Chains A and B, each alone.
Chain A
Amino acid sequence: MKILKTLEKYMEDPSLELVASGHRACQGCAEVLALRMAFKVLGKNTIVAMATGCMEIISTPLPITCWRLPWIHVAFENTAAVASGIESAIRILMAKGKIDKKWINVVGVAGDGGTSDIGLQALSGALERGHRLIYICLDNEAYMNTGVQRSSSTPYGASTTTSPPGKKSIGQSTWKKDMPKIAVAHNIPYVATACPSYPFDLFNKLKKAKEKDGPSYIHILSVCPTGWRIPSEMAIEYGRLAVRCGMFPLYEVEDGVYKMTFKPDTLIPVEEYIKGQGRFRHLTEKEIKEIQQRVNSEWEKLNKLCEITKP
């Protein structure tokens, strides 16, 4: 297998599946794919704290689990708090000589609701205290677990059950919260955005995060065919379109230095990304234009940040 040889650069054992088959994710779920890829890189030596959300309910309906790792389910609010507690405990046990001094990765995983809405306070605290943990936000742009309700990470104009479009509403009326920038503001060693449609980029970023001595925050866009109202086989393609149109730029911030990890020569129009999705089908040309302007200005801002912070 050629691909396993290639992947050996990124991980110890590419054929190791730490998220087993038999989980109950919807057909074509790119979120569980993101998890599968991420934990391939992080490896066996990992402890996971996971908030309530899609990935929690599909992976562990008691008495079944698809995890082959020590895994703890926590409430929405305290993923980062529990993960930082685990990290502190490991440090103390190491200091007392009760466990080997080989570092164990501590990972907090939450959805976009669990990160940008409910878990933000605990996350901010954990990042500020500087625990050595990896926080993964799986962003599917709404509360998909309970049947598509809006979160602060939902993009402008998207239709959800709590932001329905109609005569006086265009769907979600606010812009997507820029979580990676909030994480950057904590001056942590590593922040990155990733997407499973670009697997090697994702592997690289998790590998870097794993080696940092301090908190790292990875924001992964995970396409949700059910909530975005797209065919299940298009999940990977829509991730690609999101990146290529500039709605979800792939970048990393290492010690305050911004760097684009994938830079398309020319951005494709956002219309190409928007037109196939059921959640955006009510949008008129005027609103698509608004979104295009916003995407362009955000893209320019990001490029400027990359230039300014260049060492």
Chain B
Amino acid sequence: MAKKMEEYKWQDLNAGCVIDEPGNSLQYKTGEWRILRPLTDYSKCTKCGLCWLFCPDNAMRPKEDGFFASHPDYCKGCGICAQECKFEAIKMVEDKK
């Protein structure tokens, strides 16, 4: 979607309200909701991927080196990754914006 949602007028919508761009929610940055953010201690991380598997927002993403980092635009700061990490490698810290 080229425009921001607020700039849309009803005349711009497709007939039948069909959305023709799959996955365009990526432009909606849910990261703004966050109070806490996950901070990974990479010396404890074993790259098991549990944080990636259990993230409801698909915000924990693999990096090129195989470790995982939360995406600042989409992480809502729910804390599931920190709770589910079996190696206590993830801590929730205050997110200073």
Contacts and interface: CB of A to CB of B under 8 A. Distances in A.
Contact of A63 (B5, B54, B58): B5
A186 interface: no
B37 to A, nearest CB: 12
B47 A65 contact: no
Contacts of B28: 22, 24, 64
Contacts of A66: 23, 25
B33 interface: yes
Interface string A60-94: 11111111110000000000000000000000000
B23 A27 contact: no
A243 to B, nearest CB: 15
Nearest to B49: A3
Contacts, number: 120
B26 A62 contact: no
Contact of B80 (A61, A67, A235): A235
Contacts of B41: none
Given A63-B13, A199-B53, A236-B84, A20 B26 contact: yes
A65 B23 contact: yes
A21 B58 contact: yes
A102 B55 CA distance: 32
Contact of A68 (B17, B23, B59, B92): B23
Contacts of B82: 233
A4 B84 CA distance: 18
Given A63-B8, A234-B83, A20 B58 contact: yes
Interface string B3-37: 00100100011000101011111111110010000
Interface residues of B, number: 44
Interface string B54-73: 11111100100010000101
A23 interface: yes
A100 to B, nearest CB: 21
Interface string A37-79: 1000000000000000000000111111111110000000000
Contact of B79 (A37, A69, A233): A233
A174 to B, nearest CB: 30
A204 to B, nearest CB: 15
B19 A65 contact: yes
A225 B77 CA distance: 14
Contacts of A64: 1, 5, 19, 24-25, 27-28
A3 B8 contact: no
Interface in A114-165: none
Which of A4, A17, A36, A231 counts the most B-chain CB atoms under 10 A from its CB?
Answer: A36
Nearest to A73: B17
B58 A27 contact: no
A1 interface: yes
A214 interface: no
27 contacts: A1-B49, A1-B62, A1-B66, A3-B53, A19-B58, A21-B30, A23-B25, A24-B30, A25-B56, A29-B78, A32-B57, A33-B54, A36-B56, A36-B58, A60-B19, A64-B24, A64-B28, A65-B22, A65-B24, A66-B25, A67-B22, A199-B54, A231-B79, A232-B78, A233-B79, A233-B92, A236-B83
Interface of B: 1, 5, 8, 12-13, 17, 19, 21-30, 33, 47-50, 52-59, 62, 66, 71, 73-74, 76-80, 82-84, 92
Given A235-B80, A236-B83, 19 more contacts: A20-B23, A21-B59, A22-B26, A22-B30, A27-B77, A28-B56, A33-B54, A33-B55, A59-B25, A62-B13, A63-B8, A63-B24, A64-B24, A66-B25, A68-B22, A199-B54, A232-B79, A233-B79, A236-B54
